[in-house]
Amino acid sequence: MADEPLELGEMSFSEWYAHTDKMAEVGFLTIARKLPSLIGQAMRMAWRASPRDTAATIVLNLLGGVFTAFGLLATTGVLTALFSEGPTPDRVMAALPSLALVAGAAVLRTTTQAGAGWAQSRLDPQVTRLTEERLYGLTSRVNLVAYDDPDFHDALQRARLRGAAMADSVVTCTIDVVTAAVGIAAVAGVLGVLHPVLLPLLLLAVLPDAWAAVRSARMQYATMYSLIPANRRKWIIGQLLAEREPAAEVRAFTMRGFLLRMYDAVAKAEQDVMLRLARRQTMARLAGEALGGLGAALVYVALGVLLAVAAIPLAVAGTAVLAIRSAQGSLGRLMYATNRLYEEGLYFTDFLDFCADAEGRIPGPRHSPIPESFERITATGVTFTYPGAPAPALRGVSIEIKQGEVIAFVGENGSGKTTLAKILSGLYEPDTGTVHWDDTDLRQVSPEALRSRTAVIAQDHTRWPLTARYNITMGTGKGEPALHAAAAVAGADEVIAALPHGYRTLLDRRFKDGHELSGGQWQRIAVARGFHRDADLLICDEPTAALDARAEHALFERIRHHADGRTVLLITHRLASVRYADRIYVLDHGTITEQGDHDTLMSLDGLYADLYTLQATAYR
């Protein structure tokens, strides 16, 4: 089946250029207008990272420009003395004071530039730290539903892979732009003092390079922007080929060849796009360099004409040549820095746009206190739809949970059980409807405060690459008695007793001295995690999925014992486990179709009775 066409979904090559039309609208004037904003954003970030190092970098670069201008002006004195009439020794002696000034200016310029470089090298890691803290501070606070939004994932991918990484580069490029601009300003000031007509000559050598740099940056960004879905697919396939978790199934199902074909299909198309980009950028650079060479020739022709008509003396012309060459160096650095600033600034703008979008996904301040305890939890008319989903996951659901009850949600896959549990625990907010703890509307309560009062034992729990202790305590400091009690209730104490370093054992084999657990052992750790929280509401979402029959029975006995006086919400497909629940809600396609205890639901002879009878028959 090696020739079978691959189905790549969103990787359809015709969709790779979905954003090209957006980039086609970016012209030179647009870029010119964006650069001041980029410079301002970068400087504000640098200032937040380290005001001292930012100020030192700017001031020392400004002083370097001043010393450059002073050195050029002093050069005029040297040339005037050397080109004057008289014996050579006398002319050299007359030039010595100006030479001393030139040497002093050079030393001071070198010293200030070295100091500016030192301050800038200190600034870069501080900017990186500030940027990463902002990114992960936002990603960990956005509403959970954001992670079900494909647009959010694409924006997060751009922000993580390029945007945040470009922050320190943008700051560096901004400082380079400022440094080069100061150098050009110094030269321009010198040429203006020497002769006003010399000043416009600087533009002839720089405009072609500026055009080529901007065009190349546009091409680069448009291409990289359009390849984001491809890069993400390559990264995902690469994980399947290289990560430990899927390694067994890759081999068991002999998927190596198939995955490599899929990877190669995406990589080959990406390679073709990048080769076309390289060709287009080369043509733009060649055109810019050709026009730049023509501009430089015109500069020297104009200087020759000025000398021929005696508009400037020879000493001034010599200084002008040195100044123009210095300016060309500064202009080259300016164009390179501007090119990088614009190109990387576009990625940095992705980071800023993501941060702005993420901040909009964070709930605003809520000041209503959550009750110290509750008599009942009520959900009224709750409706919820996942981003991009064609139909709601919940449709006008209303339930009541009394304090101390054991409530069960049952239903077939996709009926909305887990979604409703996440709404009750504050992980999701309903599109319409309300959830109350007694008389307190949870929309008015801080999500962090609510989540601190709930505990979730999930089937798809996270296997944290931390020690066994932290996998249970999750960083809370409740002390050793609470830790050991939670582990004992969940049966995790037996798992930990067999570990080489007990609670200090790192539960990740990818690290030295790390240890791996079986699925059932991890499930007990996850259960202990939920018990350790000692929350008002305990939600158990398929907590026994990875356990054998004996361990499952023991765990449900522990949950019933642990639930004494607590409120427990149980979600499971194993209906024998919910027989003793105080009330059972049956969900079907996002609605509550039946409710009551086990005997009541069996007497209704509805969906619950069908599912229970079907499972019970399998054990007879």
- The C-alpha atoms of residue 315 and residue 277 are separated, in whole angstroms, by 47
Q: For residue 21, what pLDDT is reported? A: 44
From 180-189, 360-369, 382-391, 425-434, the region with the lowest mean pLDDT: 180-189
Residue-by-residue DSSP string for 295-333? HHHHHHHHHHHHHHTTSS-HHHHHHHHHHHHHHHHHHHH
Q: Which two tokens stand for residue 359?
A: 């901040």
Q: With 90 as the cut, is the pLDDT of residue 457 above it?
A: no
Helices 28-49 and 88-139 meet at what angle, rounded to 10? 80
Alpha helices in 452-541 (DSSP H): 468-473, 480-490, 492-497, 519-533
CB neighbourhood size of 172 (10 A): 23
Q: Per this entry, what is the length of the chain?
A: 620
From 199-203, 430-434, 563-567, the region with the lowest mean pLDDT: 199-203
Q: With 50 as the cut, is the pLDDT of residue 24 above it?
A: no
In a domain, 10, yes or no: no
CB neighbourhood size of 401 (10 A): 22
The residue type at 415: S
Instruction: Determine the average pLDDT of the residues in 194-216.
Output: 67
Q: How confident is residue 58, by pLDDT bands cut at 50, 70 and 90?
A: confident
Question: Of 516, 534, 552, which residue constitutes the final position of a domain?
Answer: 534
Q: With 80 as the cut, is the pLDDT of residue 29 above it?
A: no
CATH of the domain at 500: 3.40.50.300
Mean pLDDT: which of 278-292, 430-444, 505-519 is highest?
Answer: 430-444
In a domain, 9, yes or no: no
Q: If DSSP codes are grouped into helix, strand and coil, which group holds residue 396?
A: strand
Instruction: Determine the average pLDDT of the residues in 296-308.
Output: 72
Instruction: Determine the average pLDDT of the residues in 466-485.
Output: 86
Is the domain of 575 the same as that of 528? no
Instruction: Determine the average pLDDT of the residues in 29-42.
Output: 73
Q: For residue 392, what pLDDT is reported? A: 92
For 495-546, the pLDDT digits (tens) are: 999 988 898 898 888 787 888 888 888 888 988 888 888 888 888 887 766 5
Among 620, 494, 504, which residue's Cα sits nearest to residue 558?
494
Instruction: Determine the average pLDDT of the residues in 285-290.
Output: 78
For 606-620, the pLDDT digits (tens) are: 998 988 888 777 666
Q: If DSSP codes are grouped into helix, strand and coil, which group holds residue 353?
A: helix
- The C-alpha atoms of residue 137 and residue 132 are separated, in whole angstroms, by 8
370, 373, 376, 382 alpha-carbon torsion, rounded to 10°: 20
Q: Which two tokens stand for residue 535?
A: 């929350």
HSE-CB at 314 with a 13 A cutoff on CA atoms is: 8
Q: For residue 396, what pLDDT is reported? A: 92
> What would the 3-class secondary structure string for 561-596 be?
HHCCCCEEEEECCCHHHHCCCCEEEEEECCEEEEEE
- Alpha-carbon distances, residue 206 vs 95, 157, 327, 335 (angstroms): 33, 36, 10, 8
Higher pLDDT, 310 or 594: 594
The answer to whether 170 and 344 are in contact (CB under 8 A) is yes
β-pair type (583-588, 567-571): unpaired
Is the domain of 353 the same as that of 376? no
In a domain, 389, yes or no: yes
- The C-alpha atoms of residue 137 and residue 444 are separated, in whole angstroms, by 22
In a domain, 261, yes or no: yes
Rg (CA), the chain: 35
Q: For residue 245, what pLDDT is reported? A: 77
For 539-574, the pLDDT digits (tens) are: 888 776 656 667 666 777 777 676 667 788 988 877
Q: With 70 as the cut, is the pLDDT of residue 329 above it?
A: no
DSSP character at residue 578? G
Is the domain of 496 the same as that of 392? no
The answer to whether 451 and 425 are in contact (CB under 8 A) is yes
Is the domain of 522 the same as that of 565? no
In a domain, 391, yes or no: yes
Instruction: Determine the average pLDDT of the residues in 381-392.
Output: 90
Judged by phi (left if over 0) then psi (alpha if -120 to 50, else beta), residue 310 lies in left
From 87-91, 163-167, 189-193, 282-286, the region with the lowest mean pLDDT: 87-91
The residue type at 206: V
- Contacting residues for 222 by C-beta, under 8 A, at least 6 apart: 19, 20, 23, 24
- Alpha-carbon distances, residue 390 vs 54, 153, 593 (angstroms): 51, 19, 22
- The C-alpha atoms of residue 189 and residue 198 are separated, in whole angstroms, by 10
Higher pLDDT, 129 or 297: 129
Q: What does the mean pLDDT of the chain come to?
A: 79
For 209-254, the pLDDT digits (tens) are: 666 766 776 777 677 777 777 777 788 888 888 887 788 888 877 8
CB neighbourhood size of 602 (10 A): 15
Number of domains in the chain: 3
Is the domain of 262 the same as that of 395? no
Domain that holds residue 40: 15-360
Q: For residue 32, what pLDDT is reported? A: 61
Element (H, E) at 281: helix 256-308
- The C-alpha atoms of residue 451 and residue 436 are separated, in whole angstroms, by 14
Is the domain of 355 the same as that of 377? no
CATH of the domain at 134: 1.20.1560.10
- The C-alpha atoms of residue 214 and residue 557 are separated, in whole angstroms, by 69
- Contacting residues for 595 by C-beta, under 8 A, at least 6 apart: 399, 583, 584, 585, 586, 601
Phi, psi of 399 (to 5 degrees): -140, 170
Q: How confident is residue 23, by pLDDT bands cut at 50, 70 and 90?
A: very low
Question: Of 299, 326, 360, which residue constitutes the final position of a domain?
Answer: 360
Is the domain of 377 the same as that of 424? yes
- Alpha-carbon distances, residue 417 vs 297, 410, 523 (angstroms): 76, 7, 20
- Contacting residues for 273 by C-beta, under 8 A, at least 6 apart: 16, 223, 226, 227
For 337-348, the pLDDT digits (tens) are: 776 777 777 778
What's the start-to-end Cα distance of the chain, in Å? 44
Is the domain of 239 the same as that of 376? no
Q: How confident is residue 25, by pLDDT bands cut at 50, 70 and 90?
A: very low
Q: With 80 as the cut, is the pLDDT of residue 292 above it?
A: no
Is the domain of 165 the same as that of 178? yes
Q: If DSSP codes are grouped into helix, strand and coil, which group holds residue 271?
A: helix
Helices 256-308 and 314-360 meet at what angle, rounded to 10? 150
In a domain, 272, yes or no: yes
Is the domain of 129 the same as that of 249? yes
- The C-alpha atoms of residue 419 and residue 435 are separated, in whole angstroms, by 14
Is the domain of 130 the same as that of 107? yes
Question: Of 360, 380, 399, which residue constitutes the final position of a domain?
Answer: 360
Q: With 50 as the cut, is the pLDDT of residue 104 above it?
A: yes
Q: How confident is residue 52, by pLDDT bands cut at 50, 70 and 90?
A: very high
Is the domain of 168 the same as that of 201? yes
The answer to whether 53 and 116 are in contact (CB under 8 A) is no
122, 124, 126, 131 alpha-carbon torsion, rounded to 10°: 170
- The C-alpha atoms of residue 611 and residue 171 are separated, in whole angstroms, by 62
Instruction: Determine the average pLDDT of the residues in 190-219.
Output: 68
Q: For residue 87, what pLDDT is reported? A: 66
Q: How confident is residue 592, by pLDDT bands cut at 50, 70 and 90?
A: very high
- Quote the percentage of the chain above a pLDDT of 70: 79
Q: Which two tokens stand for residue 314?
A: 């020879």
Among 134, 164, 236, which residue's Cα sits nearest to residue 142?
134
Q: How confident is residue 16, by pLDDT bands cut at 50, 70 and 90?
A: very low
In a domain, 172, yes or no: yes
The answer to whether 538 and 569 are in contact (CB under 8 A) is yes
- The C-alpha atoms of residue 411 and residue 277 are separated, in whole angstroms, by 53
Q: With 50 as the cut, is the pLDDT of residue 20 above it?
A: no
In a domain, 43, yes or no: yes
